[in-house]
Every structure is written in C-alpha cells, then in structure tokens.
A = this chain, B = another copy of it.
Amino acid sequence: MPEIAAGADLAALVAGAVELSDGDVVVVAHKAVSKAEGRVRRLADVDPGPRARALGRRFDKDPRHVQVVLDEAAEVLRAERGVIITVTAHGFVCANAGVDASNAPEEDTVVLLPVDPDASARGMRAGLRERTGARLAVLITDSFGRAWRHGQTDVAIGAAGLAPLEDWRGRPDSVGREMRATWIALADEIAGAADLARGKDTREPVVVVRGLERHVSDDDGPGAAALVRERELDLFR
C-alpha cells in the first residue's frame, strides 16, 4: 500500500491491492483510516495548557503531544508511571486516548483515532462491496494494552458485517450442560490474529482473514461499540 494521504479512497486502494471474495474479513489498522480521514494533528499548531505542561514534565513527554491526548480524552482514568490511561469519546479505555506518533505521516504530527470507527467500517464495507461485489466484513483495529497482563494486543475499534461478540450463553456444551459465561469477543480475536500476519515496521495496514464466512452477516451489525463495557457494569475503573 502507498502512504495514505488525507482524502484517500481506502476502499479503492484495498480493492486494487488484493482480490476479495465473499466471506472475507478485511482488517484495517486504524492509522490508515485516520490518515485518510484527516485525523492527524501537527504539534506546531498545538498550544499546551497547564495540565499538559505539568504531565509533560512529569512523564518526559512533549507537552503538545500530551495536550492532544487530553483533547481526545473524555476522561483520564490514571496518570501514573509514564502512562495516561483514558476513556475516549467512543468509550474505549486505552493509553493516550489512542493518540500515537509512530507511523505518523510526517515528523511532528500525531495520528488520532477515527471520529466514528464503526461508521468508517460501514463506509469502507459499502465501498468494497461496490467495487468487488463481495459480501465481506470490515474491522478497524488498534493495539491496546490490558489490565493485569503485559503487552498489547490488537482489538477491534470499528466493525461492519460481523457480530463482534458470539453468544454461547445458555447453549449446551459438548456433554449437553449449559454454558453460563461463554460470550466470545470474536472481533478482538480476529484483530489479534490479523496482527500476527504483519510487522510493525512495514506498511501493511490491511490483512484479509479467510475461513470465517460463517460470521459474516448481510447487515452491518452493531459495530465495535457493542464491545464497550458500560461504565456502570465495569468493576475495574
């Protein structure tokens, strides 16, 4: 894939780069989507406020970068040990409100999350359908850290054409007993699987996952918003 510029037609780029078929799950790293949507900020245009300057000093971070994080955060959950854990406007809990300088288009720019990643996924799905005729699903992903475990895994922040959760609750197990708590975050497992197929230093924003056609739906479905645990149901905030 070429470097993605603001206004780029991602669906056209993907359709031109890979042959797509019914049942494919097209997994797109959010940075490609954000760049195409112009969700990039130049640090030269950012005037950091007192909180950003204080956090920047404490964490040895560029205060302008911290200001962008605060701008993108609906809430700061923790600011300790050099990390700022936030709730984004979408409800995602992640470090730095998803604001990231790596793989940014230019020096001194940072990439934000898409404004509405589920809408981005739906738009891209429609664009791919139009160009290829294929009945497929689109996931938009980012790498999120986790409570309790080291490291990041890719998760879905946008989805269209695939139910992000597969509900086995109440269904019988292999010996006919009811499974009480089996509710699989399918979209996140697919996001992580796709991440295994690419390097972090290569320009491979798109991975096509095959063999999951049983999960691809006619409608767009509820999107990755369905993966967000409501604040009042969350025991760990």
Contact = CB atoms under 8 A, between A and B. Distances in A.
Interface of A: 78, 80-81, 83, 85, 92-93, 95, 101-104, 107, 143, 145-155, 164-165, 168, 171-175, 177-186, 188-190, 192-193, 195-197, 200-203, 211-212, 226-229, 233-237
10 contacts: A92-B148, A146-B146, A147-B234, A147-B235, A148-B228, A148-B229, A148-B234, A150-B229, A153-B188, A168-B200
A80 B232 CA distance: 12
Given A149-B188, A234-B148, A174 B103 contact: yes
Contacts of A177: 101-104, 107
Identical subunits present = 2
Contacts of A101: 177, 180
A236 B147 contact: yes
Query: Which 9 residue pairs of A and B lie closest in terms of their CB atoms, listed nearest first?
Result: A151-B185, A193-B193, A189-B192, A147-B236, A93-B148, A147-B147, A102-B173, A192-B192, A78-B235
B80 A185 contact: no
A147 B146 contact: yes
A173 B150 contact: no
A228 B149 CA distance: 5
Contacts of A189: 153-154, 192-193, 195-196
Given A81-B235, A95-B181, A235-B85, A150 B228 contact: yes
A179 B102 contact: yes
A226 B32 CA distance: 32
Contact of A236 (B102, B178, B190, B236): B236
